[in-house]
Structure 1
């Protein structure tokens, strides 16, 4: 069983299950959760990230299974960024899931890109002399440089040879997300969105564009994402 670090808040249904991107932690959702009022929300560090334990091996289905117990049977809207968005699509058929919002999901991967990611997964995690250096590495891997100026405590760990990001680099090798097949198979509504200037995700992969924003649109402008979540089908009728 995977031990998860989970941030929580609010009480009213439906619950928003917030799934961060590769290399990040649940802390990236602070801006959005501060705008949700009394709405119930849960934001885990995904396995191999932050304060959550690692998996023996990584697959999108395996990560989804590890967080599936967080689905609120009263009704859950899943909001996932990039890697977390694919995990959310794997949860679409679970009881209680009402809809899935995928933000910044890179759906098309070349053989070269997949091979590069697999090679990164084989590299030993770098160690640094100071926490500040490890924290900077965390922000760089998560694409958060310039967006978050301080890494959360859970993002780095002290080891016998110094400091390193808590992220398990083996997760880089998770493989092709096969997004189109997941969307086609989803029994609940799926909304795919991207920041207008997201260089990783072409407009053809995500019909909804958030103006003026990049890959980490949820961090850049949480209000823009909140506006998206306030429209059907992501805001189910009461």
Structure 2
């Protein structure tokens, strides 16, 4: 397993770093990547897909691992979904040696109940579930990543063991906790756009607007808006890349 599995491609500056959400892999950005005329950096986050797990998970630790695995210092525009959006904001602080020119944070969950945090902690403590067939593990991968019915399973999302198939996701990543998004926004050293799908049950547009008056609502889309309609992100991303240029 690679320290950080990184897909690269495309041409044109600034480079765009695409960070997926919890449980997914970099494959979720395929549709958006096809629409962008930029150099692309698309990792699997630590403990996901083909990237190695971390000894412990925190937003700073995950962001630091991503920055270290890029082998470049930027500038980059970062697009992050959900957990990836939090990591994009963490990178925007400048604490991790990556020059970030702009951030589009999509579908970031900013309000957490104690019950939700308890469930996440319980999931982080569970042993990996084993499945008799690859297809069964792929169904579980799609469910965990919220991609059921809107995307195919990434082969890197599951792995075969002597006892059966399991998710490649390190379940301990569920224990990363709740982000202090207000603080991260205050610490960002670049322009930041917050956005969420109109029908996103996890990241409500009104919750984002309470933190940033200019937060964008993407009509008729859900939590995985970047998969449902990649083109919906283009106007937001264009503003950030043109500002950098």
The TM-score normalised by the length of structure 1 is 0.94
Query: Cα 1:237–1:80, aligned 2, differ >3 Å: closer, same or farther?
Result: closer
How far off its partner does 1:93 sit?
A: 2.6
Q: Describe how 1:76-225 pairs up with structure 2 within 5 A.
A: 76-94=76-94, 95-148=98-151, 150-206=152-208, 207-225=215-233
CA distance in 2, matches of 1:209, 1:235: 21
**Higher deviation after alignment, 94-103 or 44-53:** 94-103
The answer (yes or no) to whether the contact 1:13–1:74 under 8 Å persists in 2 is: no
How far off its partner does 1:237 sit?
A: 4.6
- Structure (1/2) with the larger helix percentage: 2
Over the residues paired in the alignment, what is the CA RMSD in angstroms? Answer: 1.4
The answer (yes or no) to whether the contact 1:195–1:215 under 8 Å persists in 2 is: yes
The TM-score normalised by the length of structure 2 is 0.92
SS of match in other structure, 2:36: coil
CA distance in 2, matches of 1:29, 1:165: 19
How far off its partner does 1:175 sit?
A: 0.7
How far off its partner does 1:47 sit?
A: 0.5
How far off its partner does 1:115 sit?
A: 1.1
